[in-house]
Chains A and B, each alone.
Chain A
Amino acid sequence: MKMTRRVWGIAAVASLHFMACNYTDGECFPREELYETAGAGGGVIVPTGVGVGGYGSVPFEPQSAPPDPDGPVCNIISGGPCDDECQAEYDRASIQCAKIEDAAQRKACQDTAHANYRDCQEKCELEGSNQKCIRKYMKCQQYAPFWCRSGKITVCAQCHDRCRSGDPPSSECVQCGF
């Protein structure tokens, strides 16, 4: 009985770790701009990674990305399981890159990881759009007006091809549910 309570206690404490959540409130900006408008002193938490106090964090893709003309992205926006897998792979690669002592090699490693992340995201987008096209085709073949589904090469099939190639749907395709 005591053992069971102890296990539940440990499980309860361990489950607390999944409660961690945070988000950036308002705008964020590159670290170099921190003191551009700020006065002397201040209470900003600046990670040191070592020593007493401070934050230890893993390198993160969007932080190493080139500057965005619309300003930096401040929060993670999940794009679904495929994107999350890309992110997880990037995190693993980043941790490995951070272990490289030589600055040039480390940067090359980070650039490669970033490029792989972008490729992975593009693949997800492509897969996602292909899946959408397939779903629309299935729906078209089942529920669209008869003329959409008749003929040797059905309008549904033609619209599916247009969808896969990224072309906007024609007026016929719109009527057939694309």
Chain B
Amino acid sequence: MDELCSVLPGTGRLGVGVYNQTSVAFGYAWKDVDVRIGPSLSLYSMPACGAKLCGRVVGLAPGGHAQANVYFAGPVGVSVSANVDWVGGRSLVLPGGFAAMIVAGPVFRWRSM
């Protein structure tokens, strides 16, 4: 189970945003690679712009999450994660659709497997 909390820097007009995602992942680990996939649920209160309007959007978005970690130098590796959220509801700023996020960066592990 993963908990990811992102703080989005704000603008003078809309303020700071928070995006919190909880995901449950099932996966498999090899010696230097591990992969996981599972559903996620995100809670957010963030400044956003649609095609015409901007505003603060608050909501709940179910989605899916996938992540792969590759360790190529002992405890050091690369992590790539992707998430897709179904965004929809009453807001006319983000009236409906999906939000996709891909994050890549270094990853460290405390103990080599």
Partner of B62, one of A20, A35, A77: A20
Interface presence of B4 (CB below 8 A)? no
Contact of A57 with B51 in the complex, beta carbons under 8 Å: yes
How many of A's residues come within 8 Å of B, CB to CB? 49
Partner of B91, one of A45, A53, A59, A75: A75
> Closest approach, in angstroms, between the C-beta of B94 and any C-beta of chain A?
6
Q: 8 shortest A-B CB distances, which residue pairs? A: A22-B59, A28-B55, A22-B89, A63-B52, A57-B97, A43-B8, A16-B62, A38-B11
How many of B's residues come within 8 Å of A, CB to CB? 47
Contact of A34 with B49 in the complex, beta carbons under 8 Å: yes
| Chain A residues within CB distance 8 Å of chain B | 13, 16-17, 19-31, 33-39, 41-47, 52-60, 62-64, 72-77, 91
Contact of A22 with B97 in the complex, beta carbons under 8 Å: no
Partner of B56, one of A25, A34, A64, A77: A25
Interface presence of B57 (CB below 8 A)? yes
Name the residue among B39, B51, B60 with the largest chain A CB count within 10 angstroms.
Answer: B51
> Closest approach, in angstroms, between the C-beta of A97 and any C-beta of chain B?
12
With A37-B12, A57-B51, A63-B51 as known contacts, state yes or no: A43 contacts B92, CB within 8 Å: no
Mostly, the B contact residues are: strand
Name the residue among A33, A43, A60, A64 with the largest chain B CB count within 10 angstroms.
Answer: A43
> Closest approach, in angstroms, between the C-beta of B82 and any C-beta of chain A?
9
Contact of B91 with A24 in the complex, beta carbons under 8 Å: yes
Contact of A21 with B59 in the complex, beta carbons under 8 Å: yes
> Which residues does chain B contribute within 8 Å of A20, judged by CB atoms?
59-62, 85-89
Interface presence of B27 (CB below 8 A)? no
Q: Considering the complex, give the chain B residue whose CB is closest to the CB of A64.
A: B52
Contact of A54 with B55 in the complex, beta carbons under 8 Å: no
Q: Considering the complex, give the chain B residue whose CB is closest to the CB of A45.
A: B48
> Which residues does chain A contribute within 8 Å of B53, judged by CB atoms?
28-31, 63, 72, 74
